[in-house]
Structure formats: structure tokens, C-alpha cells
Structure 1
């Protein structure tokens, strides 16, 4: 029963806390986790690594967010930016990675995978614009490939965003801001037929500061029915999302310097896109004294039509705009069974899990276009990708001060591609095994020490795994390795020795067998090399008083290609320093507030680091006033100090109208200027 209690509270990480009452006098005793309302739930005894944790909804609701995807910035060290229209997936940065649109960071919402493999725009594409932040109950995050549960896309880490089954009270909110920004949300839950029915409807519009109005329109809906208790429950959830937008992509610095375009202008004003997503999922949970059983099945249907032009007139006199389009159906099943046991005085939890996913793209393609009108086919494919992952894990409490978590994961992938380029059609299969091991020592003086090691992998785009011809040049090419191994290690410490302070420190390293990626913009695989990243992360979360919360997350990393090459060993886009500082004021009478400062350090734009981006520092501010227990007004200010900085920088060759040839140049997408949004929230 002790292990069952631990499982119910914290999973395998809670074994030590459950066994603590029986520890002999004088020996180290595991401390019960501390619940700090409105803060990170990262107490001693709640995780298997210093870089893992849980974000609670109380903190989520207090921090302003410019975009839905910024909920991932609650994961310490993650930075979220944008280089195109608001309907496109964000850019993500973590642990020396420019994760592009999500590769190497696995994201789940209520168990549904968000990363899209073999995607029209980028492998691992992670679009979170359909997320309604008010429905998020908590975020469980891990960094590094140390957990057997985590498979593809998780070498840098993973985040599992969990939604409420029932809301504490209904929500009706209206937000207005500059640039014709408007958002409305209605959400509530009510008892129906012995269960709970939750619904949410959201509509939003934004033009942004761009010279050509973005005209972003988003519509969102969630409907969930759940029934049962904490130990035996099931839920059925339907979600739907649709968006349309105009894009202002990155622009070349020479065009700005010459006055050809303004800071918020576009070289090709016809860029833009539309996307749709619908999902249906079922989840069942059964807990008992002997263990836990989970089952989830899901079906996702999505589409994307994205028009972009990053090189302008480099390839074609009528313009280089291209369309990336896909129609996707995803079916999946995830199940696990845990058993609690005790042998020779050792508490243990054993877990077996199965993950099955099938993606069918009919079709996925890259096309030439002019002013959003398709003019030709660069590459079009029908593709199917099926993956099966089996994982096992055993958590053992050897002594009151030593716990181990050992896991093994085996994955098998099958790719089937029918391409408009005949040589690029084919079938291919691959498998990989990934061992994991974590040791947790302590606590002593409210302090734990963690030693983590794990192997993981990332898959490559199915089209790259079967390609033998380049889509544009028709040159011969070797197929990409389907599954690329990663190896990570971490040494960490977490302490609560100072009353009210949760402190964590992690030293980590990650090696990738290849940075190889399929580039959706070109329809072909981009050659790359093995790499090594290492770094240090410090997290400080302090409850100074009942009403004042202080947060500081600092990270420094070094990312290099391994081996010495003439062009250099720096990894373009890799960040060396990230910082986030937050101050939250809770309910000082009718007032509340939050101040957030984030720093995104400079990064190399080319392999020899001769060209580097500048650092970006932004501040957000929220001031809230509660008129009565049910009505609150929030004023959010984004880019508080009106900094002129970049969300993203690239260095590549492009050609403007009138230029005789391509010109290598820095291309940037600016951060939005200071913007104010006012939200009226009513509870019912």
C-alpha cells in the first residue's frame, strides 16, 4: 500500500516520500513534498532529475502571454519566438538548440502528440496555436533523454500539458488591444448524467504591427465529458481549430538600410496561410493498491497551406514564393501498466508501456506559387509513417537515501513514400533501443542529488529516408538515416534548505549522431554533422511572503559540431545564454501583478561564427484589479521598454528586385513594439 500511495501522488518519484515514516531514527528521512500555491511544484521527492518538474495552473493564470505557444516558456530555459504569421508554429529554443518549430522537444496536450513528423514545413512541427491557456491544469516537463516514457523528438526534453476535467467556475473573458486585437472566450463545466461536461469556445483576431495587416483569425472549440473518481475515471474529448492569416516573414537588412521596406514591412506581401485541426481522444485510468492502468486512443485530422518567400527573386524572375501543403490523418494508442511491490524491504514500482502511432499524409508537397496561386510541383508525396514503441521502467527505493530508476525503450519505424519524383519513392524500416538510468540520493538537509544517463533518438522525415534525388537540382543523394541516436548525461541537485526557496542546479551534456534534417522549404535533406552540447542550468523559485513570488531561471550552454571542418564548428542558431526573471504579486487587496523579463543571448548565424545575432531582452507586465470575487480586469503590456530587437535572425543568400545576383545578408524578423491589451474576466 505504501508504494501504491506513492504512485498515486507522484509516480515512481514518490516512493521515497511514501517509505519515509518507517525510516529508523537517525537515518535520512524523505520529506513530504511541499505544496506552494501558485508556484512550481518542484519539491524534494517529486522528480527523478533536477531538470524535471511541474508547473501549476495558479502560476499559469498570473503570467501574460503574447501567444498561446508561450505556455512552454514555463519550462525553465525554453524561449518561444515567431518568424512569420501568428498562425504558423512558433520557434523554440532550449539547451543550445534552435529547435526550429519543435524538432527534438516532444510536446503533448492531454496525451495527444503535437509534433508532426514528415511535415510539409518542418519535421517535428509543433503548432500550439490551438491551445486555450485557461484550460491548462498543469505542465509536466523533463529535459534530456532520461525517461523511458519519452521517445521520438525528446532528446532535448519533453512537456506534457494537461487540461482540466472540470473548471472551478465558468469563464467569460474579452480582450482588446492595439492593431485590432480582439479575443473572446467562454468556458465552463457542469455535472451531466453522473459525469462532468466541459466546453470552451474561443475566437480571436489580430492585425499586428505589420505594414500589411496580418488579419489573423482563430476559432477554437473544446468539448469534454469525464466521469469517475481520482482512482477510476474516463474521459472523451473533442477539439477543433481553424485559422487564417497573412505573413510578414523575415526581411533582409540591406532592404531596411536602403529604405526599400520598413522595419515591419514585407518583401512579398502575398505570403500567408491557413490551417485546420480536429481531434477526438478517449482516456481511461484505473488505480488500485496493486498499481495503475492507463489507456488512451486518439484520432487527429489536420491540414496546412503555407505560402512563403524567403529568397524573393533568387531562383525565378516572377518570384520565389512557394507553397507547402499537407493533409494528415493521425491515429494512435498509448497504454501503460504499473505494479507496486515490496521485496526484501525494498519498495518498488515496475511499469510497462506501449505507444503506437500511424500518420498518413495524402498528400504532402512543396509547390511553386505566385501570389498564393500554385504554378508548379517541386515535390509531392503520399506518405505513411508507423511507429511502435515499447518501454519498461523499474523504480526501487534501496535505502531511505538511495533510489534508482532504470528503464529500457525499443522503437520500430516503418516508412512508405510514393513521390512525384519516382526515384524518391520507396519503403524503409528501422529500429533502435534506448537504455535509461537515474540515481537519486538523499534527501539530506532537505537536499537531493541526481545522476542521470540516457540514450534517445530523433527520427528523420520519411521523404528524406527514401530520397535518392534532390527535388530542385536533380542531383543524386544518399537516403538519410531513419533514426539518429542521442546520448545524454546530467548531474543535478535540488534543495529546499532555505525556507520558502526551491533551488535546482544541473550540469548536462548531449551528443547527437547527426543534426541532419529534411528541409521542407527546399524539399530535400540538408547535410549536417554529429554534434555535442553541454551546459549548466540554475533555477530559483522563492516564496518571499504569502503574496510575493520570485523566479529566476538561468542557463548557459555550448553547442558545437564534432570534428574540425574548414567552414567552422559552430551550430547556426544555437543559443549560449538564456535567462528568465519573474516577480509575481498575489492578491494585495484587489490588486495583483506580474513582471517577467526574458533574455535570449546572441547566437552564431554561420559555422565560423563570423556573423552573430544580437541578444534580445524583453519585458512583460500584468496589472490586475479585482472588482469583486467574480469580476477582474487585467492590463498586459508586452515589450514594456519598447526594445527594437529580433525574434529571429538568419544569414543566407537572397535577391531583391533589380539586383543582378544573390547577396548574402542577415535576414531578421523583429519583435513586436510595445503593445497593451486589456482583459475583462467574469466568473460564473
Structure 2
């Protein structure tokens, strides 16, 4: 169990921009990073003021004096490895208030919820892995699409997270929050594991590292299969690999990382409630058994961090190739109730199945330089950074389909999207109890769309500036206070930015705004006044210039009205005993459109209440385990709030035993109490066979998986 002591030095400055970024991106962040606080501690005069040491559980690096906001922190590997994880993206649930669900097959990006948002597949929550962006703009299935199914949880070393648009480093998609996942440089020991579980689940993993030259070469290979509880077996097949070379020392550390991932699956998407009530299908059935998907992702990245006499230099570059081919049917016979016939539909089947497909190449880099010094005797740090990203989609398309095969082209485009950003941030220690962090970010976007619909081809560019300011007061009595305010944004799909006619009906429409302004504020407190307990509370607000809302018939998101969200978050981490650790996170939010409309002011899918409670047991003799309970409450499904989803409560349990230092067995139980809840719920019109034209408005849901068990045998070598 790791511990650390916190010491406050009068006049010390803490360079959080450099600190949190490296904590998220680099496993050895604490040893490779020099902050002004560290420098001040090393060179302070004898009259420093030193608080009594405190012991804090090493699962989180969120101690008083290490953050710019109460809603900011870092999660360490020990806690990440302790929890059972149903899906790889659930590592993001270590970010307090985040909920991860699914409304389709295991190979599709998950559904994300945070701070009053149904984030769809990642919009307004930015995710990075070792500096590589996960969010995909202008994606075939949804803006900001964040697929983390290629992540190997055993390789995650740290997760640095921020919420709100308060950091100059974070740009597109980061208004609700951002997470930066760092991978391990080396394995303490080689490991191999085999997992077997309910419904044909199987997984094998081998990972190890070896000293090569002046560095360490790490490799990991993963293969898995899952049928799931669905009436039509999912037959999910995944192959995944990582090759990573780390070289240098604590002052100059670099990585070269190659990744490859491929997956195929059958989809069971959300289904209408009436179809189950009428006995047409079971709860785990599908109305279109030909829905399916396949995806690939390959990447090569390089990053380096160098300590300098007066600061820190960071650089990372990446190249990503990905593709997705996804067949879905959410409305059944609403648009195509009769046999289309002819050459347009050689299968002779009616139905609303559609295909979303894209091939994408992404190239980019990010670099920053931090200087630590003084201004008029006050400790100060300054950071300048530049970011560049270029996405090439050849092509990205929407197609009509039948029986799992493409029938016709609705829209197909070649897209070139380039984003460039310049940012600066200043941290200044005004007094022993007041520090300010001021930042400014400038983003420039170019959109170039060549569509098969001539009216929708075109070029546009946009620029947006985002000022930020944080004030940090204290600490007093082991308690720190925060005021945060900042501007942010999210980009819109390039095809919508240049569109002048709708792709299906070819009716006139207005192009969407390229960049949508967001602005938010937060008041927070973090305290360690109670021994072994770290507690934080944040009162936040966020305005969004235009919501992106899920569209059932199109299967993607569409721009909507401006909105306002407010909420409260309360997070607690308590180390009761050296082997016993508790987490309790509570959040509530209020989300409304700010522009009046007869349909109502509620935002469909906006999450209102989230709760998470965890108990972790480590090294209790040969035993270890974890219990996790999460709750996300009812949500409005339409604007007038007349239809609401039900709450979902799920429990996970892990019980493990170490036979000796080389072998251990873990038993994971998901949905411990066999809840009949839903992972996701929507309300929109669909049409079943025999129903009248126009279909019926109905609740469409994707059920949580029933109780299932997985056993993992792991050996170390």
C-alpha cells in the first residue's frame, strides 16, 4: 500500500498544468516532473511553515495542494486494478460522477453520462490515451465518438481527470470533462491470465517487459470472445496488441508505442417496450437479427518529457488509422414500410436498417514548454503549448441497408478537418494562501467536405478563443478552496457545417455553426481535516450554446437549442485500515434548455442523480476483493418531462485469493443482485409490422446484462 505525506511551504507555487498532464500521460509522473512547488521546497529558507504530515491512501493523488479545482484529480493503478470491469471503457468510472453503459454490441463505443449530460458516445467529454485523442470528430455514428474497446485495463497506470472548461490545455469536447489515461512503462513481472465466464465469455492476456538497450520493451496481447445474454449470440471477437519501448531516465523519459485492434460482432440494439409487452420478442431479443459491426484501429505514437534547468518540455506525436462498419435499425418499418423492390433493393426486404461506415487517418502532435521562476519575488510558472490535429475521412458515409447488406447511398463524403490550437497558462503564488491560474486558448478549424450531394460540398473555417481563470485559497486547517471560471467549446460534424440540404429528404436546411461556445463556473472545497478521509465538494454551472441530441431515426446526434446545467458533486475517499478503503461519490444536476419552445424545456436523456459506493480490500492475508454499487437515476426522455426513464442500480463484486506470489484467482460477479434495469432508454417513434403509418411513440431500451460470473486465473513470471 503506497502512502505519501503532504507538506505546505510558505510561498511555494504549484505548477498544476504540468503536474496533472504528466500524471495522466506518464506513469512516472511524480519522479519525472519538476514543479515550482518542488523547487521552492528544495530551496526554501529555514523560516518555512510546515504543517503536520498527513497520510493519504495512494489510490488517488488528490491531496490538498495538488489541484486547481475540487473536481480535478488523479487515480492510480492500484485502485484501477482492484475493481472488476465489465467493459474496458469502465475504467472511466473512476472519474467521480461518470457512468458508462451500452446500447448495442460490445465492439461499439459506449454510452457516457456526466454532469447532467447524456454524452452519447463521448460528445463533451474528451479522452486521451498516452496523449492520443480518442474522440473522433465528424464520425459516421456520432460527433466525438470515443471507442475505448481497444484499451487493455491491466496496462493503465494512471487516469488524470478534469471537469469543466477551466484548463487551457483542454479544447474540443472537454466542456463536461476530460480524462488523460497513462500506460505503464514496464511490468514489475510478466503476467498471463485466462478468463472464462457466462454466455461463452473467454479472454486471454499475456504481458511482459524486458530491458532492451537503454530502455524497456513492453508487449501485451489480448484475445477475447463473448456471446452475451442476447437471443442471437453476439459472437464478439477481439484481437488486441500493444508494443511499447520506453527509454531514458527520470529527467528525460520517452516512449514509442504501437497498437493494433480488430473486432467483429452481432448487435442487439435498443428495442421498443411494446414489442416485449406484446410478446413479439423477449427482453434480450432483436427486431432485426442482421444488425452487426466491425472495427479496426492501428496507431503509432511517440512522446517525450524533459526536465530543464528552468522548467519542463513535453512533446508527443501520433498517427492513427481506424475504420468502422456498423449496421443498425432503430425504427424498423417507419420510413420503408413496403417492399422497395427493383435494383435499389435486390433482397426484396422492407425496413429502416442503415449502414454507417468510415475509414479515417488521424495525424497530430502536441507540445508545451513550462518555465518556473519568480515575478517581483513571487513564485510563478508559465506554460506555452501548441496542438495540431488533421483528420482525413475517405469516405464517411450513411447508406440504406437490408438484411445486413448495403442497398443504396444516402450520403457519402470525403472530409478533411484540421484543428490547430495555441494556449498559454500562468500560475502565480500571490501569498502563502492565494494562488491564481490564468489561461487563454485559441483554436482554429478548417472543414473541407466533398459530398456526393453537390449542395452539401464546401469549405468553412472558424476560430474561437477561450479564456480561463482559477483562484485557489489556502490551505487552512488542511482545507483548500477553489473558484473556477472558463470558456470552452465543442465542434460540430463537418458534414453539418457545410450542408444546405438534408441528406434523406433533400430539403433546404441551414449549415450548423462550426464551433459551439460553452462557458462554466465552479466553487469547490477539498479537505483532509478528518484523519484518513479526503473529501471534496463542488458547485458547478455550465452553459452550452447548442445541444447535440440523439436522433432515433437518423441514428446520430443533431444540433438543438442552447442549455444551462447546474449541479453539486460530493466525493469521498476513506482509508479505514491499511487493507480497507472506501469510496463514496454523489452527484445531482439540473439541466434545461434556455430558449422557450412549446415542446418543453427538459433535455432528453440529461442525467439528474448519480451515486457510487465502493469497498476495496487489499492484502488481507491471501485475500483481496472489491464491492462496487452504482446508481444513476431517472431521466426525462422528452422535452415536456411527461415520459421518464427508470433508475438503474447495479452492483459488482470481486473475491480473490493469492495461492502464492506467482498465482492468484479472482471471481467477478456483475449485476450481483440480478437487476432487471436498463442500460439506456430513449423515447421516439418506430413502426412494427401491422401498425399504421407514422408508427408509435414509445420507450426504446437496452437491458442491462443479467447476473453473470467471470473467473480469472493469473500467473506471474
Provide the TM-score with structure 1 as the length reference. Answer: 0.97
Alignment of 1:368 with 2:389, yes or no, is no
Contact kept, 8 Å, 2:219 with 2:241, in 1: the verdict is: yes
State the SS of the aligned residue for 2:285: coil
**What displacement does 1:344 show?**
2.3
**What displacement does 1:285 show?**
1.3
Alignment of 1:105 with 2:125, yes or no, is yes
Structure 1 partner of 2:80: 60
Q: Write the distance in 1 (CA, Å) between the matches of 2:547 and 2:130.
A: 29
Alignment of 1:46 with 2:66, yes or no, is yes
Alignment of 1:513 with 2:545, yes or no, is yes
**What displacement does 1:205 show?**
0.2
Q: Write the distance in 1 (CA, Å) between the matches of 2:52 and 2:415.
A: 51
Alignment of 1:36 with 2:57, yes or no, is yes
**What displacement does 1:519 show?**
6.0
Match of 2:703 among 660, 670, 681: 670
Taking a change above 3 Å as real, the CA distance of residues 282 and 602 of structure 1, as seen in their structure-2 partners, is same
Contact kept, 8 Å, 2:158 with 2:182, in 1: the verdict is: yes
Write the mapping of 1:480-559 to structure 2, written as runs, cut at 5 A.
480-516=512-548, 522=554, 526-559=558-591
Contact kept, 8 Å, 2:36 with 2:372, in 1: the verdict is: no
Alignment of 1:657 with 2:677, yes or no, is no
Match of 1:444 among 472, 476, 479: 476
Match of 1:234 among 254, 269, 294: 254
Taking a change above 3 Å as real, the CA distance of residues 329 and 32 of structure 1, as seen in their structure-2 partners, is farther
C-alpha distance after superposition, 1:373-402 (max 9, x if no partner) = 110000000001000000000111111111
How large is the Cα RMSD of the aligned pairs? 2.1
Taking a change above 3 Å as real, the CA distance of residues 19 and 400 of structure 1, as seen in their structure-2 partners, is farther
**What displacement does 1:640 show?**
0.2
Length, aligned pairs only:
683
Structure 2 partner of 1:162: 182
Q: Write the distance in 2 (CA, Å) between the matches of 1:53 and 1:13.
A: 18
Match of 1:93 among 101, 113, 116: 113
Alignment of 1:425 with 2:464, yes or no, is no
Taking a change above 3 Å as real, the CA distance of residues 562 and 629 of structure 1, as seen in their structure-2 partners, is same
Q: Write the distance in 2 (CA, Å) between the matches of 1:625 and 1:247.
A: 36
Q: Write the distance in 2 (CA, Å) between the matches of 1:340 and 1:425.
A: 48
Unaligned stretches of 5+ in structure 2? 1-10, 22-32, 339-349
C-alpha distance after superposition, 1:244-294 (max 9, x if no partner) = 000000111111001100000001011010000000011121112311111
**What displacement does 1:569 show?**
0.3
Q: Write the distance in 1 (CA, Å) between the matches of 2:634 and 2:43.
A: 52
C-alpha distance after superposition, 1:616-659 (max 9, x if no partner) = 00000000100001211000000000010000000000011222
Structure 2 partner of 1:72: 92
Contact kept, 8 Å, 1:4 with 1:289, in 2: the verdict is: no
Taking a change above 3 Å as real, the CA distance of residues 5 and 254 of structure 1, as seen in their structure-2 partners, is closer
State the SS of the aligned residue for 2:577: coil
Q: Write the distance in 2 (CA, Å) between the matches of 1:50 and 1:302.
A: 36
Q: Write the distance in 2 (CA, Å) between the matches of 1:203 and 1:557.
A: 39
C-alpha distance after superposition, 1:189-224 (max 9, x if no partner) = 110112110000000000000000000001100001
Unaligned stretches of 5+ in structure 1? none
Structure 2 partner of 1:326: 358
Structure 1 partner of 2:29: none
Contact kept, 8 Å, 1:16 with 1:45, in 2: the verdict is: no
Taking a change above 3 Å as real, the CA distance of residues 21 and 293 of structure 1, as seen in their structure-2 partners, is closer
Structure 1 partner of 2:627: 595
Contact kept, 8 Å, 2:387 with 2:420, in 1: the verdict is: yes
Taking a change above 3 Å as real, the CA distance of residues 60 and 110 of structure 1, as seen in their structure-2 partners, is same
Taking a change above 3 Å as real, the CA distance of residues 501 and 102 of structure 1, as seen in their structure-2 partners, is same
State the SS of the aligned residue for 1:179: helix
Match of 1:395 among 423, 427, 447: 427
Alignment of 1:84 with 2:104, yes or no, is yes
Alignment of 1:576 with 2:608, yes or no, is yes
Write the mapping of 1:168-567 to structure 2, written as runs, cut at 5 A.
168-316=188-336, 317=338, 318-516=350-548, 522=554, 526-567=558-599
State the SS of the aligned residue for 2:274: helix
Q: Write the distance in 2 (CA, Å) between the matches of 1:112 and 1:326.
A: 19
C-alpha distance after superposition, 1:547-583 (max 9, x if no partner) = 1100000000000000322110000000110000000
State the SS of the aligned residue for 1:623: strand
After superposing the two structures, state which structure 1 stretch, 285-294 or 458-467, moved more: 285-294
C-alpha distance after superposition, 1:523-554 (max 9, x if no partner) = 88734110000000000100001111000000
C-alpha distance after superposition, 1:111-133 (max 9, x if no partner) = 00000000000010000000000
Q: Write the distance in 2 (CA, Å) between the matches of 1:291 and 1:162.
A: 21
Provide the TM-score with structure 2 as the length reference. Answer: 0.92
Q: Write the distance in 2 (CA, Å) between the matches of 1:5 and 1:465.
A: 38
Taking a change above 3 Å as real, the CA distance of residues 213 and 183 of structure 1, as seen in their structure-2 partners, is same
Contact kept, 8 Å, 1:121 with 1:520, in 2: the verdict is: no
Q: Write the distance in 1 (CA, Å) between the matches of 2:309 and 2:687.
A: 67
Alignment of 1:682 with 2:715, yes or no, is yes
Structure 2 partner of 1:630: 662
**What displacement does 1:683 show?**
1.0
After superposing the two structures, state which structure 1 stretch, 21-30 or 138-147, moved more: 21-30
Q: Write the distance in 2 (CA, Å) between the matches of 1:158 and 1:349.
A: 23
Q: Write the distance in 1 (CA, Å) between the matches of 2:406 and 2:549.
A: 26
Contact kept, 8 Å, 2:685 with 2:698, in 1: the verdict is: yes
Contact kept, 8 Å, 1:23 with 1:400, in 2: the verdict is: no
Taking a change above 3 Å as real, the CA distance of residues 539 and 18 of structure 1, as seen in their structure-2 partners, is farther
Contact kept, 8 Å, 1:467 with 1:477, in 2: the verdict is: yes
After superposing the two structures, state which structure 1 stretch, 21-30 or 401-410, moved more: 21-30
After superposing the two structures, state which structure 1 stretch, 303-312 or 652-661, moved more: 652-661
After superposing the two structures, state which structure 1 stretch, 561-570 or 447-456, moved more: 561-570
C-alpha distance after superposition, 1:97-121 (max 9, x if no partner) = 0000000000000100000000000
Q: Write the distance in 1 (CA, Å) between the matches of 2:387 and 2:61.
A: 28
Q: Write the distance in 1 (CA, Å) between the matches of 2:133 and 2:16.
A: 27
Q: Write the distance in 2 (CA, Å) between the matches of 1:259 and 1:177.
A: 29
After superposing the two structures, state which structure 1 stretch, 101-110 or 659-668, moved more: 659-668
State the SS of the aligned residue for 1:544: strand
State the SS of the aligned residue for 1:61: helix
Q: Write the distance in 2 (CA, Å) between the matches of 1:485 and 1:518.
A: 19
Q: Write the distance in 2 (CA, Å) between the matches of 1:379 and 1:426.
A: 14
Taking a change above 3 Å as real, the CA distance of residues 638 and 573 of structure 1, as seen in their structure-2 partners, is same
Structure 1 partner of 2:674: 642
Q: Write the distance in 2 (CA, Å) between the matches of 1:480 and 1:31.
A: 56
State the SS of the aligned residue for 2:199: coil
Q: Write the distance in 2 (CA, Å) between the matches of 1:208 and 1:84.
A: 11
